[in-house]
A = this chain, B = another copy of it.
């Protein structure tokens, strides 16, 4: 994947550029939705508020999105897409599975720490949704879990990670730990340095809590 990373990144840029040129309102609405949801919370985010923030008419929203839920799914899809691409690209540059894992943790923390609104939306607001939306979010999350699974498999192949525990369980531990850590950080009003926790979390995940 290293060899293609140049093209990969170009491709993303092209996609982004064409997106912004062809569907400027789509992007406007997505960005407005992130801000409005982060500022007002999920339930107080009326479609009209998002439209106003995006500078379009209420009805215009429905030219680009099926309904209100579709706005939320699309927000997550767009943002998570970028999120995952960045992490996938960065981890692919690293050699060992352990380095890849550290990169993943650092970037997971880094990207959310760098985007206050996005962190609130993904960790708090987007979870206030019904089962149908949750399932769509899970679908979108799949590729990210796939990246984690890939790193675990590589680690097992390299004999860095143990092979006696099933991968889904390991993945649940990793994702659960990261997610819980970020949520705690958000709910504590982001008072401390989240990214700085990455090495310790990596250490904890790989070595566990047992004394040597």
Q: Give A residues with C-beta under 8 Å from B.
A: 41-43, 124, 127-131, 134-135, 138, 152, 155, 159-163, 165-166, 168-170, 172-181, 184, 187, 197, 200-201, 203-212
Contact = CB atoms under 8 A, between A and B. Distances in A.
A129 to B, nearest CB: 6
Residue with the highest number of chain B CB atoms closer than 10 Å, among A161, A184, A187, A208: A208
A187 B135 contact: yes
A203 B165 contact: yes
B181 A180 contact: no
A197 to B, nearest CB: 7
A176 B187 contact: no
Taken together, the copies of this chain in the complex come to 4
Contacts of A184: 168, 172
Given A165-B203, A173-B173, A205-B208, 20 more contacts: A42-B130, A152-B209, A159-B211, A160-B211, A162-B207, A162-B209, A163-B211, A165-B204, A170-B204, A170-B209, A172-B177, A173-B181, A173-B205, A174-B209, A176-B176, A206-B208, A206-B209, A206-B210, A207-B208, A208-B210
A180 B169 contact: no
A109 to B, nearest CB: 12
Contact of A162 (B129, B173, B178, B211): B211
A73 to B, nearest CB: 15
B161 A200 contact: no
Nearest to A179: B176
A176 B169 contact: no
